[in-house]
Amino acid sequence: MSNTTAASETTPTDTTSASASHAQALLAENQPERRQYSGQVSDMGSGESGAGLYRKLSELNIFDTLSNRYHSDDFNAARSEYIRTRVNILSIVFAIFAPLWIPMDYILLESEDLNVIALYRLVLFAGMVILLLINNARKRNLQHSLFCLTILIALPAVFYTASLFQLLNSNTPLIGYSFIPFLLVAILSVFPLTIMEATALGGGLIATLMYNDYYSATLFTLDGFKDLWLISTLLIIALWANQAQLHMLLRLYRQATRDPLTGLLNRRVMTERLKELTQRWNSSSKKPPVCVLMLDLDRFKRINDTYGHLTGDKVLQAFSQIMKEELRSSDILTRYGGEEFAAVLPGTNLDNAVKAAERIRLRCEQSWVTSKENEPVHFTTSVGVGQLKDSEEINELLHRVDNSLYEAKKSGRNKVIQSC
């Protein structure tokens, strides 16, 4: 055990690993911009910063709903469950309604088309049943759910194209067929999709409609234009509905997982993430290092008692800002309890974790917030650091690191102690 030397560099610890990229996704919703300074720490609790256009777009949640690039693995898993259940319901609806129309075809279609179309409908029915099975084979996997959603949209689109080709030369009116692309675009609106996902699926449907209009020689007619107009309008409304759903999901998710004062993850989420991480770590042959920091503000009660709780809150926000700035965006940062914080550093060895802890300690020492009376309020932190050992349970690691933190407090505070 040792109190480490102060690290002069201000760059975050940077060792690579597979788990680091996983953790990056876990926390991506909370990425701050890195700023380097020491001195007065502004009271930014949300973890959002930036300027100009980027900031405006962030405020409009454009980046949140544009693609899933900034979504955590956990949020993606939650969203995939929404998509999976809706794909289940819709594939059952299609499986029921596809063969149900066969009697209507017998009334409306000419005899030479009947058997072929009935066969297409049975194939669509079988496709939907198979999709139902595939859709439930993997849970909490966004790629898989999006794949199944694409199949859900593609199967009726292929059925529509094949039927249209079959019925191209017949004189019967296409009752029960021509609305299919419009129905599919409308169906998109029940899913919480990003703009890119919905545009890709909607674009595919518009292309299908145009392809069929072209082959039935209606693309450049008034009817063709009317179809395009209608499907584009429906797609815009579907995109709007997608955005509303995705935005609401993100908000609910953030409320359930974040500490409102600092914007960091809450303790429950951190424990879950850490459990997942260690399970994966213990079962894999590659074992990149994983370290944990436990950080506690020193004599925080005194700050509250002297300057009031609002100033205490400012210190908590400033401290979390320092953590965000001194650690990598792939690290898992948590407000663990009142004035206690924790950080999981995947892909970082003990030496580098100690350096990172030392950077935070030093930044705190050099920083201050201002009280209501405009007095500078300084603060310091004590830190315990430990690295996950082979076959070690997560609780054992946390217990070890907590003991180091306790030792740092006992031996005078404003210290980093590593657990061996």
Interacting residue with ligand GTP among 197, 213, 227, 296 (CB under 6 A): 296
Q: Which is nearer to ligand GTP, 227 or 339 (CB)?
A: 339
Using the rule CB under 6 A, is 405 a contact of ligand GTP? Answer: no
**Is 278 within 8 Å of 290 (Cβ atoms)?**
yes
Interacting residue with ligand GTP among 300, 319, 336, 368 (CB under 6 A): 300
The CB-side HSE value for 232 (13 A sphere, CA atoms) comes to: 7
Q: Which stretch binds ligand GTP (CB under 6 A): 143-151, 300-308, 344-352, 392-400?
A: 300-308
Q: Provide CB contacts within 8 A for 377, sequence distance 6+.
A: 303, 307, 311, 314, 315, 368, 369, 370, 371
**Is 26 within 8 Å of 73 (Cβ atoms)?**
yes
Which runs of consecutive H residues, i.e. helices, occur in 218-299? 222-257, 267-283
Using the rule CB under 6 A, is 287 a contact of ligand GTP? Answer: no
Q: Which stretch binds ligand GTP (CB under 6 A): 39-47, 218-226, 309-317, 397-405?
A: 309-317
Using the rule CB under 6 A, is 379 a contact of ligand GTP? Answer: no
Using the rule CB under 6 A, is 74 a contact of ligand GTP? Answer: no
The structure tokens listed for 144 are 């898989």
Least distance from C-beta 38 to ligand GTP, angstroms? 22
- Which residues between 239 and 268 bind ligand GTP (CB under 6 A)? 261
Pairing of strands 290-297, 381-387: antiparallel
Interacting residue with ligand GTP among 35, 251, 275, 309 (CB under 6 A): 309
Using the rule CB under 6 A, is 298 a contact of ligand GTP? Answer: yes
Using the rule CB under 6 A, is 412 a contact of ligand GTP? Answer: no
3-class secondary structure, 54: helix
Report helix angle 73-100 to 142-167, nearest 10.
Answer: 30
How many binding residues for ligand GTP (CB under 6 A)?
17
Calpha distance 356→341 (Å, rounded): 14
Interacting residue with ligand GTP among 184, 316, 343, 344 (CB under 6 A): 316
Q: Provide CB contacts within 8 A for 393, sequence distance 6+.
A: 278
The structure tokens listed for 411 are 């031996």
- Applying CB under 6 A, the residues found at the interface with ligand GTP are 261, 296-302, 304, 309, 312-313, 316, 338-339, 409, 413
